[in-house]
A and B are shown apart, each in its own frame.
Chain A
């Protein structure tokens, strides 16, 4: 028996998109000089024109942020700062549908995910950090901590609004003001967030948003008026930033790439593990720094497991992100699609076996089918490099130690998954894995109370929880 699903499209009527946007500086929208189009990656429809931030835009934003820091924000009590964050959280909840639809249109992710994950978590992040604003002396970080001042924040396109929340909420709660640059391809929800700041009557200049591309990001990183840099993105750019600030007094936190191993032991609950592997790599089209992009599978269950995995992959619904039944949406950009193609072609050439379910892809927009590669060895590029797409590389192991060795054989260390019914094995593997987030019998779970961040080349620092606060405070004994 096959189930047919009627289309269940979400309405676009909740959003209104301006034909052109400027920057949000000093509490006002100001016109940009140069613009570039932002498109819906599922249809290639031009949604709007986004301003590309120039040196004078960044200067103006830093100046506004400094003025707000010195004049208003640093003088305000934590209690009052917190109230603004609570207001923001509430307004984001009120306008949740609008944010979700806009995110899906601009990013290409399924509406089910933007509606159920991105937007509620973003609001939760503000609500959580609001409560910290007047309790920082109890955070266990010392009693003489202070905000850095002006934070420059650069965020990626995979979770545009959620990454904004991860950056802005702790920065504001700890008393910093911000200059934020959303990713080039996904600026619209950040610009809607600017409206939320206005509705919340957040003092002018506390949050400034300058849109643009990498050149705008570089202007922020190298701006002498910025005290702290927070970046989420590729390890390659993270290293450039680390070098750029090496001889400055700027403090830096980096959330970078990953190549997470999702280890399935032979005593795992197989059906749950299949579901977890699917979620681990196909959530958000695999555009997830902590995606479980390497399945490390115990050899004696490999055939059975892969058969079930393929059956499950056959049921993944690829297509219109605005359809509420869609599981896998559009690849965010042409550029990203080309990168995924290049790496998967390298997988073919290096001798791994590619498999994808039969699925019709829309003719317009950027699409890539859910894909697995079997017969992958540790030297293959698809086992070493972050693909950032719906592509799973399968490796096998015989002994638990071999699983750990393979999982840790990467310069990254952001996340890892463990599937087993044996408690002692789960704790043993959690200890052995060199990664900042370990999901055991689950995957891709996030919460504002739960610190997130990587070992090794996956970055510096943590976001979320008590640990995340330290990224935005100074005054510890290390200089």
Chain B
């Protein structure tokens, strides 16, 4: 057994439910915390982002239409799949960051629990953020929160798995689809997470994951005219102004967050108010 040559994984992108290589043919080297070569993940390009936006936009009507109950169950299914493969994530986190096993275990556990927490939000958002409005006239009038469309997510450098899930889950639980840019230093858990997604009944294209450099890709996220919202929690504060400036071209909704909260879901939703006369 000790003589066996093991099979190493090729880390690719996750776009539209498939695992393509970057169209650019570019990769970059990821090393372990001890400086040993680990993998050559894709250095995604602007064209990869464009492809991912097309996939996310195509997946949007179907995912948005899925019932809240269904979305909640799919979230729970993702948590189930992640739980089943937890040791793989623990190993990858330790390998890339050098944290203790205890700390890596904790990050994976929190990631799973965070998914379950958001699973429960899917069918409670309207009660939280909706209202019927007592207008001064014979009209029935109500306001409901609705997803906004395609949202970009720049995940933080660390923690690589929890940071990614913290950013993705609140975006898609309401019905948005997303394109996430993974941590560039520790992208492997993100791609392994894509394998979890691929086996979780989540329709292809709802979550798309790119690996690469935030400094190269984040400005393209910000200026893309078919991205409706952008979570820049993973972008250093001093670089955020530039992204907000670029995002103004289509008045993108751009936010950043410090904690898990329903506000994080609602920041990527729109309030829709509907009026109808009352009469007989």
Interface residues of A (CB under 8 A from B): 124, 140, 142, 235, 238-239, 242-243, 246-248, 254, 256, 411, 426, 430, 435-442, 445, 447, 449-453, 455-457, 459-460, 462, 465-467, 476-479
Contact = CB atoms under 8 A, between A and B. Distances in A.
Contacts of B136: 124, 447, 449
A436 B251 CA distance: 15
Interface stretch (B100-108, B192-200, B202-210, B256-264): B256-264
A476 B241 contact: no
Given A242-B248, A450-B141, A451-B143, A441 B276 contact: yes
B5 interface: no
Chain B facing A: main interface SS: mixed
A307 B183 CA distance: 62
A477 B257 contact: yes
A243 B253 CA distance: 13
Contacts of A459: 251
Interface string B242-272: 1011011111010111111101100100111
Contact of A247 (B148, B245, B251): B245
Given A238-B251, A442-B139, A479-B257, A246 B244 contact: yes
B271 A436 contact: yes
Nearest to A435: B272
B251 A457 contact: yes
A465 B131 contact: yes
| Interface size range on B against A | 35 or more
A437 B273 CA distance: 5
Nearest to B259: A477
Interface of B: 128-129, 131, 133-137, 139, 141, 143, 148, 228, 240-242, 244-245, 247-251, 253, 255-261, 263-264, 267, 270-277
A462 B148 CA distance: 15
A232 to B, nearest CB: 14
A473 B133 CA distance: 21
B173 to A, nearest CB: 15
Q: Which 8 A-B pairs have the closest CB atoms?
A: A247-B241, A246-B244, A242-B248, A477-B261, A447-B135, A246-B245, A449-B133, A476-B263
Interface centre among A142, A426, A449 (most CB of B within 10 A): A449
Contacts of A442: 139, 275-277
A476 B260 CA distance: 11
Contacts of B143: 450-451, 465, 467
17 contacts: A246-B242, A254-B251, A411-B250, A436-B273, A441-B277, A445-B275, A447-B135, A449-B134, A449-B141, A452-B273, A460-B253, A465-B143, A465-B273, A467-B129, A477-B258, A479-B255, A479-B257
B273 A451 contact: yes
A436 B129 CA distance: 14
Given A457-B250, A477-B258, 10 more contacts: A430-B274, A438-B274, A440-B275, A442-B275, A447-B137, A456-B250, A462-B271, A477-B260, A477-B264, A478-B257
Given A242-B244, A447-B135, A476 B261 contact: yes
